[in-house]
Amino acid sequence: MLSLTEYILKENESRWIWFFVRSWIPKPADRFSWLRVGLIIAAWAGLAWLMVWLGMWILFSGVVFSEGSDGLLQMRSWMAPAFAEFGALSGLVWGCLSRMCWNARSARIAASGQASETGTVAPKRVGLGYAIPALAYEILIKLVTPLLLFHAIENVRGAWAWRQVQAELKAAGECFQLECIIPPPVRDEDNFFATPFWKRYAYRRTSGPDNHRFGFEWEVTNRWEVYQNFSLPQDPHEPVVTNGNHPKVAFDGRVNLAAWAKQFRWSTTNTAKSQGRRATPVFPLPPVPGNPADDVLLALSKFDPELSEFSAAASRPHGRYPHHFEEGFGMLLPALSTIKTAERMLQLRAIAYLDKNDSASALKDVRLMLRMAEMLSEEPLIISQYVRFNLDRFAIQVIWQGMVDHRWNEAQLAEFQSILASRDYRRGSILALEAERAIGNMELDRLQHDRTKRLTEIDQLGSSDDSSHQANFLMAASVVVPDGWIRQNQIAFLRGHQILLNIERAALAAGANSMRVVDAGSTGDSAGEYYQSLYLNLSPKNFIAQLLLRGLGRSSPKASRAQVTAQLGMIACALERHYIAHGAYPKNLDALSPAYLTSVPKDLMSNAPYRYEPTQDGWYQLWSVGADGKDDQGVMQKTSANGRREGNELDWPWPSPKSSFETRLF
């Protein structure tokens, strides 16, 4: 059988391996120098690099792809050096083995005093006796061994870089471990989420025979019944936008009680007609439709026990829902949708009270809405902070609708103004960013042991964005990439988070001034440049980081938008108080100080005064310059002649009773 030594000697005597240059073939009695080994390494690395460039040139020429040249350029940027490194390692293994075998034979020839070695002759390069062992040696020497070396080198490189980054972040006082962000436990009597209602949403993971988690069980087994008994019909008058077109239903921002009363009746009437589908909720209603506000209040009375429970627990100082943080990206968040449903119930009830001119009852509901939203301020999750922003927006819409109809009195407006002035969304965003960093870091640690499952979970986080063929290719290839490349992703992920945290912390330290959004989806020049570099240099060393960071660039803009909305609401309360006292709105915002505002706040997005103009219909326009920092005269969204949205959001305007879709913040 062909031995490894015989195979190596035979191949080195071939002209093809020396590019058919006969003079380059070493003589049997000559020494195989290290220079020759170095030339082999350089040649194989160069050939591998050339193969990548040649292959990409064929692809760019349109033979395979007519589109996607940007993706191919990105692939070439990382594939060329990776293949060159692999080629160099293949050349190193082949060169070293060739030198060892050749010099051993040369030594034997010198000792025997003959011109060549005699003895066993290696099989010819034909027949199975040569081909099968030769193929095995080819795979072992030129593929398997270099691949193992490649993994070892990249793993060492990644581990070294990971230690450096860990030391750097720890020296800066950063903690990116899960135990650093899990809120400490509080007593049940101090916890808003420690009531019988919320315990119905507890769950536990289950395990299969192989000890792998495959599902979960609710501690209250009638999960769907719980959801069914605490749900609302579909909102009948939210503007429906299809393919970016202008809403077909006129929408002035008011909650339409008549439409809601019809929706409650439709849901109750049609539950028996579900024909096997999940039944729609049933609500108490009078036999004959009456006043919409009365019908809505009667329908919502179904939820009085739960809403009373929330009201009683609202005085508790903390909101700590028992999330399973150790589950990472697989964590379930059942409380968030439920608390959002509760806010919509309170919003409807408050507006029904306002319609009946019962501002005292409406005040209690708005107060509870604002308090429940604040309970999420301790939630160290980005999605929880986003829900918190929405909950406050629901409450602010009730406040706005009461202003439009002049239902609030001076004391009630002053209370709303005080609550909105105390809102600080950036602290919650910083807390959530720190938590998302710790969870992502934990998942990337786990990725070393269970890549397929973890990568699937990570990929689902970015499923809202269009996925490219290249991303799918990288996802598949990452199953066999070195652990060191996973560490490189971890480094890119932590650095991206650190940039966002530095921006948020600097803005918090600066006080009133918020950052401006440089371009859609990123905040600050440094963050924008970093994300751009990830996008332009996408590779297996950073694509997981890009997936994880993809949505986080929107956290600061969303927090800024929520903060601006709260400040505009605070100013609007002061304007309404001025209206109650003087029968008209002031000519400028400076007239509000000091009677209604200690000082007029500046626009968070420009550090200049908020834009304000009284209108001829007795109302006013009030707006922030928005994410781009440019004044667009209160226009939030431009639309084309056919009603299609164009471009990004512009200004952030406080809505007026007659404002259009293009000039409405909520």
What's the pLDDT tens digit per position in 439-477? 999 988 888 777 766 666 665 555 444 444 545 555 555
Q: What are residue 523's DSSP bridge partners?
A: none
pLDDT at 249: 45
User: pLDDT at residue 537 above 80?
Assistant: no
User: pLDDT at residue 397 above 90?
Assistant: yes
Number of residues assigned to the chain: 666
pLDDT at 253: 77
User: pLDDT at residue 521 above 70?
Assistant: no
Q: pTM score > 0.85 for this model?
A: no
Task: Output 16 or 73, whichever has higher pLDDT.
Answer: 16
Three-state SS letters, 458-503 = HHHHCCCCCCCHHHHHHHHHHHHCCHHHHHHHHHHHHHHHHHHHHH
Task: Output 2 or 169, whichever has higher pLDDT.
Answer: 169
**Four-CA torsion 647, 648, 652, 656, nearest 10 degrees:** 40
pLDDT at 466: 44
Distance CA 595, CA 413 (A): 13
DSSP state, residue 204: E
Task: Output 646 or 356, whichever has higher pLDDT.
Answer: 356
What's the pLDDT tens digit per position in 228-258? 789 999 888 654 444 444 444 445 778 899 9
How buried is 235 (Cβ within 10 angstroms: 0-12 exposed, 13-18 middle, 19+ buried)? middle
Distance CA 530, CA 492 (A): 9
Distance CA 498, CA 174 (A): 9
User: pLDDT at residue 88 above 90?
Assistant: yes
pLDDT at 156: 95
pLDDT band at 617 (very low <50, low <70, confident <90, very high): confident
Both tokens assigned to 509: 């330290």
DSSP state, residue 612: E
User: pLDDT at residue 523 above 50?
Assistant: no
pLDDT at 552: 73
Query: What is the mean predicted confidence (pLDDT) over 304-324?
Result: 95
Query: What is the mean predicted confidence (pLDDT) over 78-104?
Result: 92
DSSP state, residue 27: P
pLDDT at 246: 43
Instruction: Give percent of the chain with pLDDT exceeding 90.
Output: 47
Least confident of 17-26, 121-130, 419-428, 548-557: 121-130
pLDDT at 205: 81
pLDDT band at 74 (very low <50, low <70, confident <90, very high): low
Task: Output 551 or 44, whichever has higher pLDDT.
Answer: 44
pLDDT at 539: 83
Task: Output 16 or 163, whichever has higher pLDDT.
Answer: 163
- Candidates 576, 563, 240; CA nearest to 392 is 563
pLDDT at 565: 95
Packing angle, helices 555-582 and 483-510, rounded to 10: 20
pLDDT at 212: 57
pLDDT band at 208 (very low <50, low <70, confident <90, very high): low
**Four-CA torsion 269, 275, 281, 285, nearest 10 degrees:** 10
Q: Does an H or E element contain 622, and which? A: strand 620-624
* Beta carbons of 386 and 440 less than 8 angstroms apart: no
pLDDT at 464: 43
Contacts of 399 (CB under 8 A, 6+ apart): 366, 408, 416, 569, 572, 573
Query: What is the mean predicted confidence (pLDDT) over 171-182?
Result: 90
